[in-house]
Amino acid sequence: MVLEKTIFILIIFSITLLIATYLTYFERKVAAFLQDRLGPDRAGPFGILQPLADAGKMFFKEDFIPAESVKLLFILGPGIAMFTACMTGAVIPWGDQLQLFGRTIDLQIADVDIGILYVVGFVSIGVYGIMIGGWSSNNKYSLFGAIRAGSQMISYELAMGLSLIAIVMLTGSLSVREIVEQQAGVWNVFYQPLGFLIFFICALAECNRAPFDLPECETELIGGYHTEYSSMKLGFFLFAEYINMFISAAVIATVYFGGYHFPFMHSLGLSENVVSILGILVLFLKIFLFIFIFMWIRWTLPRFRYDQLMHLGWKILIPLAILNMVGTGGFILLSTKM
Amino acid sequence: MTATLFYILAIVSVVGAIAVIAARNPVYSVLCLVVTFFAIAGQYVLLNAQFLAIVHVIVYAGAILVLFLFVLMMLNLNRESEPLQPTLIKVIAVVSGGMLLLTLVAALRGVDQIPLAGVQDTQLGLVKNLGRLLFTEYVAPFEISSILFLAAMVGAVTIGMRSKSDKREIINHL
């Protein structure tokens, strides 16, 4: 039992890292496609070995720590960013049950009672990596990046949590597995279109993706919070961002788009195991679709100005999310009375 | 196993709490406070109160302390050498701290004899039972405290309200 879980955790972990590695390649290819270029095409066929070359370069670069920095925190920053990014995947159900060697295997690392709050919790402490890294660099651009990251996270977390509350009200459970199971018929996005939109925008902001990449915007802040970082520490920050993107897409797919469910999954006449494996593939298809939308937005929209960012978060998204929550509550009350 | 974990978490939380007040640099204080809060959240998990633990992490570590860090960084209060306080303030601080300690000790005296409400049930911390209890037996205190929070929020907004020109200035700083 323990061995089973360990192997499963290792598989999920390596898949997450592999996907995050190849997202860098994917991003450059999407950018090239949107800008009518070729993108990386030198390393291997279609440039498929480019991420490995990049990683090799990152490892062999000089690892520089500024003299005036706070050394311990400077090293801790990227570590925290990476750790929190990797931890969130633990409560996501990657598929239904699988019957292997006469045993039933749950395709989820931990079915925690409060799964969805666990996700919110790890997202909310993810900003510490950026803030600690930016502050300890002892550079004003890094500091500005860190401050921006802090205020942006807090502003968008509220709307994100409020839109999730509406989902929890519909489902009546905080467990992610339960939320997915209830979407066997109709996906949550059809009940919660507004909630989905708010959640999606907040997910973009929480991942520091354009148009919300103010903590690291090159034109104003050089590199933002990672200005002073080099070598694999910089690599960790960038890598954590891609893991975050993968996990956010996974959360969106599980919470709003039915997770591993797909239409007519039980009327195909296939065995349980085949349906489960198809479910996993469908989930990954949904995840990649959202990742593509993330990239599409990044290479299409210009960056917000700082006051526009705050205006959108506090004066538009939060009132809308509260309205959505109250509306959902009223809808549930009416439908149970009738 | 549980006892070992309890002692590890207890030591971490006490050492962290001492480090909060011992650290010269306020940013270190906040980071130590984060560690302390995580240790306390761990204690909640040991008590089978997962909901309380995760809400503790989200609210304190995830929101309030990020705001603290934000303010410290924005006002640039990260000087290693803070100016020494006058002796009078030190004396006042010691006296009031001692009085608080006295009150706490007096309040905790004889707490063993009071039967605690509902701790016999080890499943109490699970979110379903907690929610049911909050909205039935303890609904009045729950609602009153939420009104208190609302009042505090309105107060904070009123204090924080500024004229238009001030606002523009703050935004231009970022």
Q: Contacts of residue A73 in chain B, CB cutoff 8 Å? A: 31
Q: What is the pLDDT of residue B14?
A: 92
Q: What is the pLDDT of residue B98?
A: 93
- Per residue in B75-92, pLDDT (tens digit) is 766 555 556 677 888 889
Interval A21-29 mean pLDDT = 87
Domains of chain B: 1-91 (1.20.120.1200)
Classify A276 in phi/psi space as left (phi over 0), alpha (psi -120 to 50) or beta: alpha
| Cα–Cα distance, B33 to B20 (Å, whole number) | 6
| Cα–Cα distance, A243 to A247 (Å, whole number) | 6
Name the residue ranges covered by the structural domains of chain A. 2-337
Of residues B170 and A313, more confidently modeled: A313
Q: Contacts of residue A150 in chain B, CB cutoff 8 Å? A: 66-67, 69-70, 73
- Per residue in A76-86, pLDDT (tens digit) is 888 888 888 88
ipTM of the complex as predicted: 0.80
The count of CB pairs under 8 A between chains A and B is 71
Of B27, B61, B127, the CB nearest to A125: B61
Q: Contacts of residue B132 in chain A, CB cutoff 8 Å? A: none
Give backbone dihedrals phi and psi of A131, rounded to 5 degrees, phi first: -65, -45
Of A121, A150, A174, the CB nearest to B66: A150
Task: Say if the Cβ atoms of A114 and B70 lie within 8 Å.
Answer: no
A154 at B interface, C-beta within 8 A: yes
Residue of A nearest to B126 (CA): A113
Torsion of CA A151, A153, A155, A159, to 10 degrees: 180
B124 at A interface, C-beta within 8 A: no
> What is the band of B99 on the pLDDT scale with cuts at 50, 70, 90?
very high
SS3 B82: coil
Using omega within 30 degrees of 0 as the cis cutoff, is the peptide bond preceding A211 cis?
yes
